[in-house]
Structure 1
């Protein structure tokens, strides 16, 4: 069920699911009841009663703040959740869904020791549009310090071919994304771009996952456009 999971500080957990957890997205033509059941099983595996907060991801740079109220949409059949590509909370469990885009999970804490959690969906438009710096800024607005990040599995620069003009445009905004594929064509290295933005904002990157296209057991849209979505997760617990 979990590709990678660890307690990153006492009581704070970060994980990335794999294909064994099944598709967790409601927007890819899957049976909504099956998706809800998988989400509930995932929450139970993490020891959560209320489940994870998901969002309607639109390849933008909006950051939603999730308050302390119970997650009202976690088990609903409709898409639910805020329309955004990042979320920040003061402890509510958060989820971001991907199948080649970069899932970024972040955790910090206030001076009083209260956790500040975040997730970001960083595809090509999100990296270029600054969704990661916007997420870090929102965390700091909530008093977060000592912010660390975990970059989940995503398509690597050696595999992500794009038109030359697209590479030029994205690299103009985030130079670290410029790359060439393994077969010599223009590419974009989105994980490198995400890392550069995080480190440029003083955030320590603790983990970076493998390439989704090259790795069995992970969903990849480039490998199969009809694929599902796995999740990056952050939550508090025992």
Structure 2
């Protein structure tokens, strides 16, 4: 039986400003990528989100991004390698401490936004980010965007990793995500998203906008928690996969 994990980015509210419906998503997904306070979130939101995830039996991961609250971590920032390493270590440390205080632990790490996109293009940058995280915790599983420089970096590191595809994002022929500024980059229709993901899981491949098939390892499926139809996409996708005989479980 084919098995996949469903993950969602969450914990991205800030003070009194809500972002996404984490409580609803945590009834559907099996892994939660929790913002660490630099691109979104704060100490209280991180603790509240991890508590919900713990009580829901959902795997908890750190979701570090650029120091860009105003841009939600989606603006590119050029950093020196040591700055990048310290960015990851700092945010991972905050997430680890919060999880430990709540009597739970981090299972994985997934990069956010522009940081993730840049690392999907640049193997050395991805290698530096992941190596920094593994210095802190060698047992972490790295969630790497499949068929990109992120995957090449984790293979080079020979660490625990899972290949990630996106339910609500379109792909270029290169295997990279279509830039959000382009038409059709983000998929909002739950039926469309669930049908394309089922095909990708069954075929173990990504399909670009052009129709190009890119064979890859599909271990986990991302559902962006801040999307306006995030919960509907998550539930429709889970139902569709389950009907097709795919087992939904944490990696």
Normalised by the length of structure 2, the TM-score is 0.36
Structure with more of its chain in helix, by fraction: 2
Structure with more of its chain in strand, by fraction: 1
Normalised by the length of structure 1, the TM-score is 0.37
